[in-house]
Amino acid sequence: MQLYGFRNVLNGKDIINHFKKQGVQNLVKPNSLHLTIIYSKKDVNEKEIILDSNKLFYIPENINLQKFGDYLVMVVSTPVLQQRFDYFKSKGCSWDYDIYQPHISICENFEGDIDNLKPYPNPIELGKEKIEKLQHEWKEEDNLDI
């Protein structure tokens, strides 16, 4: 199965409100916030993958706001996320990029100045790992709060 592995952001409402107060528009719906662990276009045996059922609390000491294409994202690199990415790769998952940059998309069509934004100052709560069958068609209107 081609699969998508991720962790939901459990305190998404607080994060979105933080950026809303700063005037950021086209925000992602709070319940859609997530962090991708793997996006494998290669078939793998999902029954061989052991998911991490622990929640993660990421202390935002070094959150890096960046623009990925039209998206404003929070890059949240940690050794734990890198280890989990490496684990999925060791189970045969593919990855289409040169490096793994774990991030949380905040909004689409970002037109502001990143330097004027304050990163989210509180811990980010990530839920347990989940996997699902990879869906190649994604609809913007399903995830944006327009």
Residues 62-104: tens digit of each pLDDT: 788 999 999 999 998 888 999 999 999 999 999 999 999 999 9
Residue 96 makes CB contacts below 8 A (sequence gap 6+) with 39, 41
Q: Other CB atoms closer than 10 Å to residue 9's CB: what's the count? A: 25
Q: What are the phi and psi torsion angles at 99 (to 5°)?
A: -135, 165
* Banded model confidence at residue 142, pLDDT cuts 50, 70, 90: very low
- Beta strands 56-58 and 64-68 are unpaired
* Banded model confidence at residue 137, pLDDT cuts 50, 70, 90: low
Evaluate if pTM is beyond 0.75: yes
pLDDT of residue 58: 85
